[in-house]
Amino acid sequence: MSRETILILDFGSQYTQLIARRVRELKVFSQIAPFNISLKEIKTINPKGIILSGGPASVYDKGAPHPHKEIFKLGVPILGICYGLQVIAYQLGGKVKRGARREYGHTPLNLTNTNDLFKGLPKKITCWMSHGDCLGRLPVGFKAIARSKNSRFASIFNTKKKIFGVQFHPEVAHTPLGKNILSNFLFRVCRCQGDWQYSAFVKEAIEKIRSQVKDQEVICALSGGVDSSVLAVILNRAIGMQVKCIFVDNGLLRKDEAKKVKETFTDNFNLDIDFVDARKIFLEKLKNVTDPEAKRKIIGYEFINVFTREAKKFKNALFLAQGTLYPDVIESVSAFGGPSARIKTHHNVGGLPENLKLKLIEPLRELFKDEVREIAKVLALPEHIAGRHPFPGPGLAVRIIGEVTEERLDILREVDDIVVEEIKKAGEYQNIWQAFAVLLPIKSVGVMGDKRSYENVVAIRCVTSLDGMTADWAKVPYKLLGLISNRIINEVRGVNRVVYDISSKPPATIEWE
C-alpha cells in the first residue's frame, strides 16, 4: 500500500521530531532519516517532498553534515529550514557567512513575495530565529522572498526547481503562522492530498501482520498502558487467538490494575491473556533496596526472568510483538553518525535474551505517542486507557522514596487512587499531562482525634506538558487540592500530611526517581 510521504533529513536539530509532527498534523505522512541517506533509499521511499532540518553546525565546520548533492537533481520539491537553507545555498554555489550578530528569538519578518510558500500570509509576520551564520550570496537561479533586520536572505526560492529555504523555524509555536507556511509547502508546492488517516494505518498494520505471521503464534507483553493495549488489540484484530498476551503483576501496579486489565481485554476484546502473579518475587528482590537505579535494574532483570519463563510455555510462538514508538527509533540514529547499526528500542520487554529466538513485530514504530492515543480511539479502546496518563515502567517502586514494602505500597495505592479519582471528577484529568502521588521517606508530627500522630508525608505531583521533554507544574484549583488532601488524611491510615510539588522540568524531572 503506497502513501504520500514527506522525507525529513535530520541534521541534528532539536526540532526535527517537531517538524515530523507538524507535517502529520496536516494529514501527510512524514518520515525522518539521517542526512546522509543514500539516493537509492530516497528513490525507494519516493517522497512527495524533502525537508532539510536545522542543526547546530556551520556548513564550513570540519565534519559538518552535508546531504548528497544529487538530491537537488531528483526533481522533488525541497524545503530547507535554518541550517537546511544554508546547506542548500552552500551546495548550489551560494555563500554562507558568519552573521554580524546572532539572531535568536522572536523576529519581525518582511515578506517580499506572497506566492507559493507564503501564500495567504500578511507581508509582515513574526518568526522564531536561532542562528549565527547567514547567507551572504544567493546561488544562481534563486531569489530572496523574505528579509529580517539582520538578513537580506531570510527566505529564498528557485521556482523552476521548486527549492525553498527559510532561515527561521516554521515548525515551532513561536512562529504563529508557521503551520500555514508548512501547509503551503505540502499542498501548493508538493501537491500532497493529505490522506494520512489513522483508520488507514490500522488497516495497513493488520494486513502486514497477517502477511508476516500467517498461521504462527505471537507473544505480546500487555501492561495496560496505551502502547501495549493498542498493540494487543491490533494483533487480535489481525490474527485473533494466535496472539498470546502475557500480563505480569509485579506487585508495583496501581490499585486494582490487574482486575481492570482482565475486565477490559478478556471481557471486551476476547484476548487470550496469561496472568502471572509475581508479586512475592519482586518484593523479595526489592527488600532493603533504597537506591532508585538499583530498583530499576532489579525490576527490569526480574521482569525479563519472569517473562522469559512464561514465554517458553508457548512453544508454537515464532514472533514477539513490541510497542516500540517512532521517537525510540529516532533516538537510535545520531544525525552526525549516520545510520546506526543497532536500533535502540524502548518497550515493555526490554533486553530479552536472544535464546528466545523470536522474530520481532513492531507495528507502532512509525507513530508518536499522541498518534497512538488517536489509534486507541479508532480501535474503540475505553477512555481510561486511550487517555491514560504515562505510568513509569518500574511502577510505584520509583514513587516510593526509600525501601519498597507491602505496607508502603498499600498506602501509596490508596493515595494515588484518591488523587486520580478527584482530578477526574473535577474535569481536570485531560488538562494535565501527568498526576500522581509520591510517598516520602519522612514522617511528621500531627494531631488526629485530639492525639499526637507521627505519620507519613505524601507529595502530589501534577504537571502540564506537550511531550514530556519539558513540563510545568499544573495550577490545580486550591479547592480541588484541599479536597484531595482532606480525603487522603481522613481515609488513608498512615498519612497525616500532604504537600504539593511546584517545581518545573527542568531543573526537576517529572518523576521523583
**What are the catalytic residues?**
82, 169, 171
- Residue ranges of alpha helices (H) inside 82-225 are 83-91, 178-184, 198-213
Q: Map residue 494 onto helix, strand or coil.
A: coil
Q: What is the pTM of this model?
A: 0.74
d(CA 60, CA 510): 39
pLDDT for res 327? 72
- Asked if 488 and 446 touch (Cβ cutoff 8 Å), the reply is no
pLDDT for res 88? 95
Report CA-CA distances (Å) from 441 to 163, 391, 457, 462, 493: 60, 21, 8, 20, 16
Closest CA to 303 of 273, 276, 272: 276
d(CA 311, CA 218): 10
Closest CA to 11 of 64, 49, 48: 64
- Asked if 319 and 218 touch (Cβ cutoff 8 Å), the reply is yes
- Asked if 286 and 278 touch (Cβ cutoff 8 Å), the reply is no
- Asked if 443 and 412 touch (Cβ cutoff 8 Å), the reply is no
Collect the ranges in the chain with pLDDT lower than 50. 334-350
- Asked if 30 and 197 touch (Cβ cutoff 8 Å), the reply is no
pLDDT for res 202? 94
Helix axes 369-378, 198-213, angle to 10 degrees: 90
Task: Give the CA dihedral 410, 414, 415, 417, nearest 10 degrees.
Answer: 130
Vertex 438, ends 501 and 370: CA angle to 5°? 80
In Å, how far from its chain's centre is CA 91?
33
| Sequence-separated (6 or more) residues with CB below 8 Å from residue 343 | 329, 332
pLDDT for res 487? 97
Residue 143: what are its φ and ψ, rounded to 5°? Answer: -130, 155
Closest CA to 205 of 243, 246, 236: 236
pLDDT for res 146? 94
| Residue 106, strand partner residues | 128
Q: What is the largest CA-CA distance in the chain?
A: 86
In Å, how far from its chain's centre is CA 359?
25
Q: In what order do the strands lie in the sheet with 163-166?
A: 29-34, 5-10, 49-52, 78-81, 163-166, 155-158, 143-147, 95-111, 124-137
Q: Which three cell numbers mark 355? A: 535464546
Residue 47: what are its φ and ψ, rounded to 5°? Answer: -70, 150
Closest CA to 442 of 457, 428, 464: 457
pLDDT for res 158? 94
pLDDT for res 356? 64
- Asked if 206 and 198 touch (Cβ cutoff 8 Å), the reply is no
pLDDT for res 54? 87
